[in-house]
Amino acid sequence: MPFRQIFTVLLAMIVILLAALVVLSWGDDDGDTADPTETTLAPDDESTSTTSSTTTTLAPVTTSIPVDCVSDPDTPDTETTTTTTGDVTTTFNPDGADDDETDDGTDDVALEPTLGRNSSLSTVGLDTVTFGLTVNQAERASGHRMSNCEPVTDCYRVTPDGAPTGISFVVDNGTIERVDIVGDSPITTLSGAGIGTTDEELDELFGDQLDRVDLGGGRTDVVFVPADDNDQEFRVAFTTLDGAVESLRSGRVPLVLETEACA
């Protein structure tokens, strides 16, 4: 066989061997890539499970907001006569309702703040925020944006931005049905009862219209029962500690009688 033919045959065999090695190398690489991918997916799955578990664990903590869910203490109190705060424009619509939109069909409304240190608590609400209003209606009535204290459920709390501290409203089945006053809030009832009022002063103000419920630990719920037949579904409750009011609330029965709303 001529030398050139022998050389050509050898060269072809070498090329075939090299091609086989390359194919085998690619196959190994594919196998190596697949294994780490499967290994990586396992931690991802575990991470997803952990995240879901964490969310489930945190949910009760988030919804268990204490009664002192209040407006930002760094926000200055807003007097009803204040004009320096300017108009507030909001499109906040947690209820998803459009029954109280403006006449032009938009939901942008300039709000004039009304809740201030001189606002009064009554059996039917706080100042212009009366029980039975939706959150949107309460914003328009009070002139304050209502910020959620808790996730929106059948029962949750909102607080009026820029209003005096210590105010929170309870939304029950879509409407505001209770208001709580806590901390150092200046808000009082129409008759002047508020944080710091003594048991004796409550008796002087309301006499035999008061019912008392012992809560233990030195705390008592002193409940004002309206005499007017039209107000029998409402109550004002004062929680006293060692003989002095530490918080007060107003609302519709039975929600107002619960020491912890939405519990």
d(CA 108, CA 128): 20
H or E element in which residue 204 lies: helix 199-206
Q: Rounded to an integer, what distance in angstroms lies between the CA atom of residue 205 and that of residue 121?
A: 15
Averaged pLDDT, 174-196: 96
pLDDT value, residue 23: 59
Spell out the residues 6+ positions from residue 186 whose beta carbon is closer than 8 angstroms to its own.
77, 117, 164, 166, 194
Which residue is it, tokens 């129409």?
190
Q: 110 pairs with which residues across the strands?
A: 89
pLDDT at 26: 58
SS3 label, residue 156: strand
The whole-angstrom separation of Cα 155 and Cα 178 is 11
pLDDT at 9: 72
Distance CA 13, CA 23 (A): 15
Res. 190: pLDDT tops 80: yes
pLDDT over threshold 70, residue 13: yes
Mapped to the 3 state alphabet, what secondary structure does 8-51 carry?
HHHHHHHHHHHHHHHHHHHHHHHHHHHHHHHHHHHHHHHHHHHH
Query: pTM here?
Result: 0.63
The answer on pLDDT for 34 being more than 70 is no
Of residues 111 and 135, more confidence is placed in: 135
Chain segment 59-68, per-residue pLDDT in tens: 222 223 344 4
Average pLDDT estimate for 175-195: 96
4 — pLDDT class (breaks 50, 70, 90): low
Query: Which pLDDT score, from 0 to 100, does residue 187 have?
Result: 97
For residue 248, pLDDT beyond 70:
yes
* 10-29 mean pLDDT: 67
pLDDT of 172 strictly over 90: yes
Among 11-20, 135-144, 163-172, 236-245, the minimum mean pLDDT is found in 11-20
For residue range 199-208, list pLDDT tens digits in order: 999 999 999 9
Specify the pLDDT at position 38.
36
Share of the chain above pLDDT 70, in %: 63
Contact 166, 183 (CB under 8 A): yes
Q: Work out the pLDDT band at 263, boundaries 50, 70, 90.
A: confident
Strands 219-224 and 188-189: unpaired
Q: Could you tell me which residue, 19 or 135, shows the higher pLDDT? A: 135
Confidence of residue 51 (pLDDT cuts 50, 70, 90): very low
185 pLDDT above the threshold of 70: yes
Q: In angstroms, rounded to a whole number, what is the distance separating the alpha carbons of residues 44 and 151? A: 28
- Residues 170-195, mean pLDDT to the nearest whole number: 96
Please, are residues 116 and 95 in contact by the beta-carbon 8 Å criterion? no
Q: Which residue has the higher pLDDT, 88 or 192?
A: 192
From the list 141, 139, 196, 150, the residue with the least C-alpha distance to 172 is 150
